[in-house]
């Protein structure tokens, strides 16, 4: 509640002084996305939820605008901002040199990876083992681009990442190359598949905006950086991603609290105990 009020207060303040760039669009910030990508954007009933959806709503709030989400194929989201159909594209979009030629990107908001999903009993144990295999990807993603470089591999392209995962479960393909966080969600939700430890690539996500809309780029960057500084960005991430590390950290903090006035050795002992319990 407190958080909500604080956000409202900040929102109201910013709204009072911001000059909305897309004024001709009735103060609506249109976001192009592909809601097939948990935990960044996915459907919950009729609603599109996820980290990108919530962060975009907070950004719109800071700009004194209302967010409108347009769901489309992933390989259309950048074209949507280029043609003015959307003001921003936010879809776990990796910044690449090629894409930078067609759109502007905000400051990055997440570091990400491409990971490999295989059948539980697969012989594939590292990216090198993908040579000559059949690899499934979501069309137009960086997974698609990188899979193309795997020696002698056959690349099967699907319109949704989950369709690639289904093909893997059905034994039609040998592996799926997809972003790490959705990969974890898909592996958690389905039997018989596992994630390889070794990441295939490292990348960064950012929001895409039309080249000729520098003013909006600046406004979105300001809003995004404020959200990071205020901790609001991290709150959204924590709502959707509970990493093992984060869990361990929370436990350690709880355990350590009573020992705070005590010696460092005590604190360390408490931390060690926590680790033992976690294991």
Q: Does 158 bind ligand ARG (CB under 6 A)?
A: no
Mind giving me the DSSP string for 21-89? TTGGGTTEEEEEE-SEETTTEEEETTEEESHHHHHHHHHHHHTT-EEEEEE--GGGHHHHHHTTS-SEE
Select from 11-19, 36-44, 164-172, 245-253 the region that touches ligand ARG (CB under 6 A).
36-44
Rounded to a whole number of angstroms, the minimum distance from the CB of residue 24 to ligand ARG is 27
Q: Does 141 bind ligand ARG (CB under 6 A)?
A: yes
Q: Does 110 bind ligand ARG (CB under 6 A)?
A: no
Rounded to a whole number of angstroms, the minimum distance from the CB of residue 115 to ligand ARG is 11
Rounded to a whole number of angstroms, the minimum distance from the CB of residue 94 to ligand ARG is 4
Rounded to a whole number of angstroms, the minimum distance from the CB of residue 99 to ligand ARG is 8
Token pair for 81: 């901002």
Q: Does 91 bind ligand ARG (CB under 6 A)?
A: yes
Q: What's the 3-state SS for 106-148?
A: CCCCEEEEEEEEEECCCCCCCHHHHCCCEEEEECCCHHHHHHC
Rounded to a whole number of angstroms, the minimum distance from the CB of residue 68 to ligand ARG is 17
- Crossing angle of helices 2-17 and 214-230, in 10° steps, is 150
Q: Does 54 bind ligand ARG (CB under 6 A)?
A: no
Q: Does 106 bind ligand ARG (CB under 6 A)?
A: no
**Comparison of 93 and 130: residue with beta carbon closer to ligand ARG:** 93
Residues 6+ apart with CB under 8 A from 73: 34, 139, 140, 159
Q: Does 93 bind ligand ARG (CB under 6 A)?
A: yes
Interface positions, 58-77, toward ligand ARG (CB under 6 A): 74
Of positions 29, 32, 39, 41, contacts ligand ARG by CB under 6 A: 41
Q: Count of residues binding ligand ARG (CB under 6 A)? A: 14
Q: Does 34 bind ligand ARG (CB under 6 A)?
A: yes
Distance CA 173, CA 269 (A): 48
Nearest residue to 229 via CA among 42, 62, 50, 26:
62
Distance CA 11, CA 139 (A): 37
Of positions 36, 54, 156, 181, contacts ligand ARG by CB under 6 A: 36
Token pair for 170: 């059905």
Q: Which residue has the tokens 């769901």?
A: 71
Select from 56-64, 85-93, 103-111, 217-225 the region that touches ligand ARG (CB under 6 A).
85-93
Instruction: Tell me the three state secondary structure of residue 226.
Output: helix
Torsion sign across C-alpha atoms 212, 215, 221, 223: negative
Residues making contact with ligand ARG (CB under 6 A)? 33-34, 36-37, 41, 74, 91-94, 138, 141-142, 179
């Amino acid at each position: 509640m407190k958080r909500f009020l604080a956000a409202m207060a900040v929102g109201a303040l910013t709204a009072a002084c911001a000059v909305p760039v897309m004024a001709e669009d009735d103060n609506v910030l249109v976001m192009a996305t592909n809601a097939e990508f948990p935990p960044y954007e996915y459907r919950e009933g009729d609603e599109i939820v996820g980290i990108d959806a919530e962060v975009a709503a907070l950004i719109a709030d800071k700009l004194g605008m209302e967010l409108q989400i347009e769901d489309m194929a992933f390989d259309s989201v950048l074209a949507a901002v280029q043609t003015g159909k959307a003001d921003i594209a936010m879809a776990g979009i990796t910044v690449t040199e090629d894409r930078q030629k067609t759109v502007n990107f905000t400051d990055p908001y997440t570091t990400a990876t491409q990971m490999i999903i295989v059948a539980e009993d697969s012989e594939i144990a590292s990216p090198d083992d993908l040579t000559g295999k059949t690899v499934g990807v979501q069309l137009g993603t960086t997974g698609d681009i990188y899979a193309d470089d795997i020696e002698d591999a056959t690349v099967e392209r699907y319109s949704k990442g989950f369709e690639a995962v289904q093909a893997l479960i059905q034994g039609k393909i040998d592996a799926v190359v997809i972003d790490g966080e959705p990969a974890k969600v898909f592996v958690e939700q389905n039997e018989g598949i596992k994630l390889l430890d070794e990441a295939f690539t490292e990348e960064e996500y950012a929001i895409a905006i039309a080249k000729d809309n520098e003013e909006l780029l600046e406004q979105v960057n300001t809003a995004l950086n404020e959200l990071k500084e205020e901790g609001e960005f991290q709150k959204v991430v924590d709502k959707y991603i509970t990493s093992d590390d984060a869990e361990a950290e929370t436990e350690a903090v709880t355990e350590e609290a009573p020992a705070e006035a005590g010696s460092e050795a005590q604190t360390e002992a408490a931390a060690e105990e926590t680790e033992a319990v976690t294991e």
